């Protein structure tokens, strides 16, 4: 799922493009900040969607922000992931097998999609971007 820049003005979008060219380290810092907030949303979503009274909590500790990188289209991207070995099972679902026989299917919770949607709808991404652009204008004279 990709996040949209709906709350930014045209000036801010142009400023963001200039910042990506002239100050790539500052742009990476801004994306890391947004990725950290997305992992916070993912943790909250997981806590509310999954019964966490049993187990050790490895799933909740597995939420991490990946490195900032440029994708094939040249866009700056950051990933929020869960590195727990069983995260994909909770995310997408799994077959329930007992005694070698399949007795059902446990549907996935799609936690990362829900967290990304909540983060996108909250407007916090646009707020982070605009605050960081304002800071770059003040400090760097962009």
**Would the pLDDT of 103 be above 70?**
yes
pLDDT at residue number 78: 92
pLDDT tier at 5, thresholds 50, 70, 90: low
42-76 CB burial, b ≥16 within 10 A, e <16: bbebbeeeeeeeeeeeebbebbebeebeeeeeeeb
Regarding predicted confidence, which is higher, 14 or 66?
Answer: 66
Q: Please, are residues 111 and 91 in contact by the beta-carbon 8 Å criterion?
A: yes
What value does the mean pLDDT of the chain take? Answer: 86
CA distances (Å), origin 20, targets 1, 14, 29, 136:
22, 10, 11, 11
The structure's pTM equals: 0.83
**Would the pLDDT of 65 be above 70?**
yes
Dump pLDDT digits (tens) for 76-102: 889 999 999 999 999 999 999 999 999
According to DSSP, the residues that pair with 101 across neighbouring strands are 98
pLDDT at residue number 24: 84
* % of the chain beyond a pLDDT of 70: 91
**Would the pLDDT of 32 be above 70?**
yes
Give the mean model confidence (pLDDT) for residues 44-49: 90
pLDDT at residue number 73: 87
Dump pLDDT digits (tens) for 113-122: 999 999 989 9
């Amino acid at each position: 799922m990709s996040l949209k820049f709906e709350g930014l003005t045209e000036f801010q979008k142009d400023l963001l493009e200039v910042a990506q060219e002239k100050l790539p380290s500052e742009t990476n810092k801004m994306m890391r900040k947004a990725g950290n907030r997305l992992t916070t949303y993912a943790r909250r979503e997981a806590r509310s969607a999954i019964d966490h009274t049993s187990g050790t909590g490895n799933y909740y500790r597995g939420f991490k922000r990946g490195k900032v990188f440029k994708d094939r289209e040249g866009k700056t991207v950051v990933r929020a992931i869960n590195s727990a070995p069983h995260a994909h099972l909770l995310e997408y679902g799994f077959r329930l097998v007992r005694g070698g026989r399949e007795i059902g299917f446990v549907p996935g919770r799609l936690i990362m999609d829900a967290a990304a949607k909540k983060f996108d709808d909250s407007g916090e991404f646009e707020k982070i971007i605009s605050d960081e652009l304002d800071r770059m204008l003040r400090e760097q004279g962009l």
